[in-house]
């Protein structure tokens, strides 16, 4: 790896160290929208070799360990990894490692299940990140992926801010790439995966300069609503 790439990765990791610090305070539970969405599709993980990429401060990694997985939580932030190690302390089959989602330090086809929740959009290249998630997944293994779908009302808001020359961030994160449900489905198919499920949640329209208009009434009555939900989920199986 070049020194320039190392310096860039180090600076991003340090920014995420700072970003994660306030999230390490208090009790940690896997109950945010994307955790609950992923849980709907989580199989029995007992004895499975599982990788969670973008583990943050370890809430979902701990849940996987509690359910019997042989799990590795991975994150680019050393601070987040240390927090995750504390969360899974006492689970012999759980650990955490510093890792860049765009260059995972794991052998190809080494995990039965790969989980990545709201992470690829915070990488330099969501396309490279998806390819790496599939690479480390064994043949026949399952990927559970969530990320923002900007083919939605918030995407319109983000585009309007861009037109106006204003910056858009997700809760102040250093990297905020554009991702869509349809884009991930197409790319995962191109990578040789079979799509088993597409789902989504959160239907809100942010009003410029304050307020949010709730559009959740369109959710379940309309099967196509998942394609315009802000939090997208794709479940894919590697052929």
For residue range 132-183, what is the model confidence (pLDDT) as tens digits?
A: 999 999 999 999 999 999 998 888 888 888 898 988 888 899 999 999 999 9
Provide the pLDDT confidence category of residue 202 given band limits of 50, 70 and 90: confident
Give the pLDDT confidence of 85-101 residue by residue, as tens digits: 999 999 999 999 999 99
Cβ count near 15 (within 10 Å): 16
Question: What local confidence, expressed as pLDDT, does residue 18 receive?
Answer: 93
Joined tokens for residue 210: 């304050």
Q: Helix and strand tally (H, E) in the chain? A: 7, 9
Question: What local confidence, expressed as pLDDT, does residue 218 receive?
Answer: 63
Is the separation of the CB atoms in 146 and 180 below 8 Å? no
Domain boundaries, the chain: 3-149+179-201+231-238
- Which residue in this structure is represented by tokens 């849940």? 63
**Superfamily the domain 3-149+179-201+231-238 falls into:** Vaccinia Virus protein VP39 (3.40.50.150)
CA distance 233 to 154: 17
Range 119-130 average pLDDT = 97
- Whole-structure pTM value: 0.90
Range 70-82 average pLDDT = 97
Question: What local confidence, expressed as pLDDT, does residue 6 receive?
Answer: 42
- Which residue in this structure is represented by tokens 């799990």? 71
Following DSSP, what letter does each residue of 49-102 receive, concatenated? EEEEES-TTSHHHHHHHHTT-EEEEEES-HHHHHHHHHHTTT-TTEEEEE-BTT
Provide the pLDDT confidence category of residue 225 given band limits of 50, 70 and 90: confident
Question: What local confidence, expressed as pLDDT, does residue 2 receive?
Answer: 42
Provide the pLDDT confidence category of residue 197 given band limits of 50, 70 and 90: very high
Question: What local confidence, expressed as pLDDT, does residue 208 receive?
Answer: 64
Question: What local confidence, expressed as pLDDT, does residue 5 receive?
Answer: 43
3-state secondary structure of 238: strand
Is the separation of the CB atoms in 238 and 141 below 8 Å? yes
């Amino acid at each position: 790896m070049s020194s320039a790439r190392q310096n860039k990765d180090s600076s991003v990791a340090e920014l995420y160290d700072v970003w994660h610090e306030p999230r390490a305070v208090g009790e940690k539970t896997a109950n945010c929208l994307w955790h609950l969405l992923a849980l709907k599709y989580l199989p029995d993980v007992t004895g499975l070799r599982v990788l969670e990429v973008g583990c943050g401060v370890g809430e979902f990694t701990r849940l996987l360990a509690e359910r019997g997985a042989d799990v590795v939580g991975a994150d680019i932030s050393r601070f987040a990894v240390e927090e995750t190690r504390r969360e899974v302390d006492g689970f012999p089959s759980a650990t955490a490692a510093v890792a860049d989602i765009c260059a995972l330090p794991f052998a190809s086809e080494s995990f039965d299940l790969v989980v990545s929740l709201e992470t690829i959009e915070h990488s330099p290249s969501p396309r490279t990140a998806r390819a790496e998630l599939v690479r480390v997944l064994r043949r026949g293994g399952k990927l559970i992926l969530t990320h923002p779908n900007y083919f939605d009302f918030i995407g319109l808001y983000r585009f309007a801010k861009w037109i106006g020359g204003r910056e858009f961030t997700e809760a102040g994160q250093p990297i905020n790439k554009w991702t869509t449900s349809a884009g991930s489905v197409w790319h995962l198919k191109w990578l040789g995966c079979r799509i088993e499920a597409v789902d989504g949640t959160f239907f809100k329209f942010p009003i410029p300069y304050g307020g949010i208009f709730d559009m959740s009434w369109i959710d379940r009555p309309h099967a196509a609503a998942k394609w315009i939900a802000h939090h997208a989920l794709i479940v894919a199986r590697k052929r």
